[in-house]
Amino acid sequence: MVHKHSILDLYDCSPEIFVSISKGKKVLREACKKAKLNVVGEFGKVYPGGGYSCGLFLSESHISIHTWPELFYCAIDIFICKGKSFISEKEIIRQIKPKKINKQRILRGEYNKLEFNKWIRSNQHNEYFEAFRSENEIIRHKSKFQLIEIIKTKAFGKILFLDGDIQVATSDERIYHEQLVHPAVLAHQNPRKVLLLGGGDGGALREILRYPFIEEVTMVEIDNDVVKLCCKFLPEINEGAFESSRVNIKYMDASEYLGTNKYDVIISDLTAPSGPSLNLYNDLISKFKLSMRKDTIVSLHSGWWSNSIHNNTDIAVCNNFENVILTNKWINSFSCFWSFLVCWDHDVSTKEMLLRIKENSRNLKGVKFFLASEFLREAFMPIKYEYGRE
């Protein structure tokens, strides 16, 4: 038999509900009366801080309320085996008058093959979220800077999360890393020194090192623990790139390092910005100039491609660089198109840059997904005109 279980989180509730436990019981009784539920008993407990928990036993199961007066928050639990729970929900909300509501409804008593305790939620997007079924939690570690998690999944292989955001999956990380690295390197006429910002998983570093003429790669990563854990648990991504004599790793904030040296190519593999970090990220983009030579090429990603010409990061890039090319790639593990930008300031046309990428890609070996012809077909040229810049 299927039972209905409703969980309500009510925020910024009317102060009246917190006055006494009797008020809470009255609200529950009126809700049950409206829904034609049969009350057979009650329970309650008042706590030292002024909050209380109370509930009613029903012939259909139970209904309860738990209060936190200091937060103006109420948690409601409605579990019935028959009847219309939404009627009691509506009455409770009407009386408590919350300004914000979070509802969850669960069907109980029916076997569900989805073991929710094995699902990991990703906070990648504001409009929706992803969940990944974990076959095994490989590591869960809180570093000085962030929560680092690596899980094993059947669909996407191993996945790295930082503070709940998916960073990379072994099943399709090459799509991301090849698109991030190769256009910028191929567009430069004589790249010798490369600056990599972020990239603690080692995938971007692996792709940069495919070019034997690159003499030096400086990688700036704020979190040493990310590198250590990825070396240990995700060796199939970095393929030993961290051991190369051409690699010099600086464990520090990227914004503090920029300006220390000049580079031919700058690749930013920092976490996609969102919310409060967006302004800081945009400030960082302007600092790229401190490490640029006259002919430096910059490559970065700007996150979820949702009509990307309106993406704030893209706008910041266009405001800081004379020339910008935008492309996007579908990343299965991200469940969306992801944006990539190639930028430069020197007087070389977009057409010339695309021709360089096409010609220089002829000698590129070892890649699995990057195709110069596909890049040329997908490129927006140049996107700065979409923002009204002449």
The CA distance from 105 to 88, in Å, is 13
User: Rounded to the nearest 10 degrees, how much is the dihedral formed by the CA atoms of 250, 317, 274, 327?
Assistant: -100
The CA distance from 85 to 254, in Å, is 53
| CA end-to-end span of the chain | 67
Query: What letter represents residue 323's amino acid?
Result: N
Number of other residues whose CB lies within 10 A of the CB of residue 155 = 12
Compute and round to an integer the Cα radius of gyration of the chain: 27
Counting beta carbons within 10 angstroms of the beta carbon of residue 350, is it exposed (0 to 12), middle (13 to 18) or buried (19 or more)?
middle
Q: What are phi and psi of 104, to 5 degrees?
A: -135, 135
Hey, what are 145's tokens?
């800077």
Counting beta carbons within 10 angstroms of the beta carbon of residue 95, is it exposed (0 to 12), middle (13 to 18) or buried (19 or more)?
middle
User: Rounded to the nearest 10 degrees, how much is the dihedral formed by the CA atoms of 9, 12, 13, 14?
Assistant: 180
Q: Tell me the catalytic residues.
A: 269
Check if the beta carbon of residue 120 is closer than 8 Å to that of residue 131: yes
Check if the beta carbon of residue 322 is closer than 8 Å to that of residue 344: yes
Cα torsion angle, 8, 9, 14, 16, sign: positive
Candidates 80, 98, 69; CA nearest to 8 is 98
